Copies of this chain bind each other. A is one copy, B any other.
Amino acid sequence: MSAQDTTRINLLCRVIRRDIVKATTVAKSGHLSSSLSAVELMATLFFDAHLRYDTKDPLYIGNDRVIFSKGHASPLLYALWRAAGVISEKELLTFRSIESPLEGHPTSRFPFADASTGSLGQGLSIGMGMAMYSQRYLSESFHTYVLLGDSELSEGSNWEAIQSAPYNEVKNLTAIVDVNRLGQRGETMLGYDLENYAQRFSSFGWKTIVLSDGHSLRDISHAYTQARLAAKPVVILAKTVKGKGISFIEDRDGWHGVPLKEDQARRALAEIDAPNEALGTIATPPKNVKFIVRSRKAAFRITVPPRDAAPRSMYGMTANQLFRTTPSLVALDAEVSNSTYAYPIAHTYPDRFFEMFIAEQHMVSMAVGLALRNMHPLVSTFASFLTRAHDQIRMARYNNVAITFIGIHAGVSIGQDGVSQMGLEDLAMMRSIPDAVIFYPSDAVAAQKSHKASKRV
């Protein structure tokens, strides 16, 4: 990183900090301090030629992807895109107003938010879904960057993603952990023990990069260069200061989700001392990236289910027929493919099947990531265990994506296995998801028709 680049990005960091202060002060709410700790981490990613993103075309399939798993740092996200020149100051200052696409936590209403977040611990799985999409189905892989808070690492769902990525040999995924030590109401369990975080990630098979100063542009830039070259998933563990850049809130409790009052904002802006205008440039992605999915003839095909066939037995064979003509279909299963009858898909379409092991939360969020990249995931497990991912299913809806959930052993039909295995609560859960279409087939014929119909929902 040249001295010139350092100066340039330093200026951008000031502009970004100013915009974060302005947006949250005008909105009278929002997560100022949590945004400030990650300014250098994200400004370097965006404006030092690490991120490759066609700012004219956020939907372009060859773009890298950036997910704010710590969705409450949305002021930073919007300030970054403001610095990239895609939104105006006026638009920025609509932050958190009711008609604005710049919501308190990022949603798909803002086209540059690569995922809707806000329930913590889901971004890494979503990012892995995107990373695997690009690794498996694109002529050239893009890179996925996920910004996480240190507090949210306590969500078990993160560890499902952390165990899954190396197992699946994901090579184009970088997690950036903004270790600012402070959660909502006090210190995290590990505080600034970055080495322990590194041990944990490392024991799960990740390459770890520890930044003892998460505000050093040079160190950050070097980390991103290493991350893109690595042959396994990478975590950058960065020691940062919550509220960085505003002396009277730095590293202090009591400032989580608290904006500055107007007089405080004036003091802060004087400290930040940003230039009037400075725009950064984002590197361009490779051109003409292509979507490539192989189609295969299903190994077997039946039209009329045998009499007395279990409804669940229709899944894999019906899906295999659909897969042939619909390249966007993929399937994920939680280590029960011999119960859900997902196994014919694994057999016929191994490159469109994902064995997710017993990790329903990760399975659903990874499906969200795949769906955000235009795939249509079919997600299967016991109906009862879909409740494990209720929060993720809820967030799938707010990501505005099409996913088919296949829950088996609905109702009391599993009998002797007992109530823990019975899908008794799943119907109420799915009915509470806005616009969900629910099929409840009572026999194999209805099940087969349901699978076919669900593709069109």
Contacts and interface: CB of A to CB of B under 8 A. Distances in A.
B160 A155 contact: yes
A120 interface: yes
10 contacts: A103-B416, A104-B417, A154-B163, A155-B156, A155-B358, A167-B189, A200-B200, A203-B203, A388-B391, A429-B429
Copies of this chain, count: 2
Interface residues of A, number: 71
A204 to B, nearest CB: 7
Interface stretch (A267-275, A276-284, A334-342, A444-452): A334-342
Contacts of A390: 387-388, 390-391, 425, 429
A105 interface: yes
B188 A357 contact: yes
Contacts of A429: 390, 425, 428-429, 432
A418 B158 contact: no
A384 interface: yes
A189 B357 contact: yes
Contact of A156 (B103, B159, B418): B159
A81 B224 CA distance: 57
Contacts of A156: 155-160, 359, 361-362
Given A105-B420, A119-B385, A154-B359, 9 more contacts: A96-B416, A118-B418, A118-B420, A154-B358, A156-B361, A384-B391, A390-B429, A395-B420, A428-B429
B359 A155 contact: yes
A336 B186 CA distance: 10
A432 B189 CA distance: 34
Interface in A388-435: 388, 390-391, 394-395, 398, 416-421, 424-425, 427-429, 431-433
A139 interface: no
A355 to B, nearest CB: 8
Contacts of A433: 425
Given A29-B416, A358-B120, A394 B425 contact: yes
A180 interface: no
A432 B105 CA distance: 29
A358 B186 CA distance: 12
Contact of A343 (B160, B185, B338, B339): B185
